[in-house]
Amino acid sequence: MIVNLEHAQHYRWGDGCDGWHLLASPTLSVIRERMPPGTAEIRHRHERAQQFFQVLAGTLTIALDGAMHTLAPEQGLHVPAGIAHQVLNRSADDAHFLVISEPPSHGDREPAPLPEVLSA
């Protein structure tokens, strides 16, 4: 089945961010997300799910295990299960990216202790 944003399940999260479920199976999740400039998610971890973030457009910063990683288009970053992370858009443009989770991360998320990068 061909998938596109027009027909994918859409949801809103955070402060004006968007997500589209491109694939939602019991073992794999692929989500396209859009984060406006100056937005950030809360620092958290997934006990079971490993994730891969792939930037499609814009710039995305990921705080991971005490280091800041700034990703440009065509770049990606693996987030192992159990590692605290936080995704931020510190740029002046929307960030568009894929989040691939195995197994799916919904229901497998817990806040992580400080230090949290509180703003983008």
pLDDT at 30 (0 to 100): 98
DSSP string, the chain: ----TTTSEEEEETTTEEEEEEEE-SS-EEEEEEE-TT-BPPPEE-SS-EEEEEEEES-EEEEETTEEEEE-TT-EEEE-TT--EEEE--SSS-EEEEEEEES--TT--EE-PSP-----
Give this prediction's pTM.
Answer: 0.92
Q: Average of pLDDT values for 25-48?
A: 97
pLDDT over 60 at 118, yes or no: no
Q: What is the pLDDT of residues 58-73, one digit of tens each?
A: 999 999 988 999 999 9
